[in-house]
Amino acid sequence: MLAFRRGDAAAFDALFRRWSGPLLRYLERMLRDQATAEELVQEAFLRVHKARDRYAPEARFSTWLYRIATNLALNELRRPRHRAPHHSSDEEAAPALPDTGPGIEAVVDARMLGRAAAAELARLPDKQRAALCLSAVEGLSYAEVAEALEVTEKAVKSLVHRARSTLATRLAQQRGGDAEGVREGSAT
């Protein structure tokens, strides 16, 4: 980033190559809409480009970038079209796969778990979702998440735990329900 600030245009390309993927993943998790996430990736890098002179070397570039992206995502989520419950292809009924053995069972189980996790992640409050994604998926420290979300580290600890705890409970309930359904199905 410092090289880019000094006028090295190739450095901006390097930053884009390094961070556009993780940023797209984060924004897609936040918004559950890839097209909008792509737009916001562009917007975030556009802001980086325009604000390069204001970049403070003491801050990590990734933290600054995630902070920009988080604010963009939170702004986007406040728009009316994002206030409706999320619907995504992840949540639609997947075609039933033939239950032909433990290998398939494990794959189906993993896919169902991932689908359920995506759906439950979308139901979390925005800041909880952001905190969990930044910490558990993007690997930021609590201090970095705090900077990105403009909250205290203590608040991050609480946000991450509440998010993870809610997801754990809901996923455990779903698994319990699924197991019960399987038991009921085999009894009839």
Partner 1 sequence: MSEVPASCLAWDEDLSALIDEELAAEREAELRAHLDACTRCARRLEELCNVDLALAGLAAPVAPSDLRERLAARIAGEASSHSLTASPVAPTARTRTAPPEPRPRWTAARLAAAGTAAAALLLAAWLTLRSDAPLQPEPPIARVAPVPAPEVPVPAPEVPALEPGAPGLEPELPTAQIAQEPASPRAPALEVVSPELALDPEPPVEMAEVGLPELADLEEEDVALLVELEAVEDFDVIANLELLELFLDAEAAGGAG
Q: Which of 5, 71, 86, 151 binds partner 1 (CB under 8 A)?
A: 71
Residue 45 CA to residue 27 CA, distance in Å, equals 13
Is the Cβ of residue 5 or residue 141 nearer to partner 1 in the bound state? 141
Residue 125 CA to residue 181 CA, distance in Å, equals 29
Contact 160, 131 (CB under 8 A): yes
Q: Which of 136, 152, 177, 182 binds partner 1 (CB under 8 A)?
A: 136
Q: Rounded to whole angstroms, what are the CA distances from 61 to 12, 76, 147, 165?
A: 12, 22, 12, 30
Q: Which helix (H) or strand (E) holds 1?
A: none
Using CB under 8 A as the binding rule, whether residue 54 contacts partner 1 is answered as: yes
Is the Cβ of residue 3 or residue 137 nearer to partner 1 in the bound state? 137
Contact 144, 153 (CB under 8 A): no
Q: Which of 2, 8, 14, 75 binds partner 1 (CB under 8 A)?
A: 75
Using CB under 8 A as the binding rule, whether residue 48 contacts partner 1 is answered as: yes
Helix, strand, coil percentages (3-state) for the chain, rounded to 5, are: 80, 0, 20
Using CB under 8 A as the binding rule, whether residue 41 contacts partner 1 is answered as: yes
Q: Which of 5, 11, 47, 155 binds partner 1 (CB under 8 A)?
A: 47
Using CB under 8 A as the binding rule, whether residue 157 contacts partner 1 is answered as: yes
Using CB under 8 A as the binding rule, whether residue 130 contacts partner 1 is answered as: no
Which residues have C-beta within 8 Å of that of residue 179, sequence separation ≥ 6? Answer: none
Binding site for partner 1 (CB under 8 A): 13, 16, 20-21, 24-25, 28-29, 34, 37-38, 41-42, 45-51, 53-54, 67-68, 71, 74-75, 78, 110, 113-114, 116-118, 121, 132-133, 135-137, 141-142, 150, 157-158, 160-161, 164-165, 167-169, 171-172
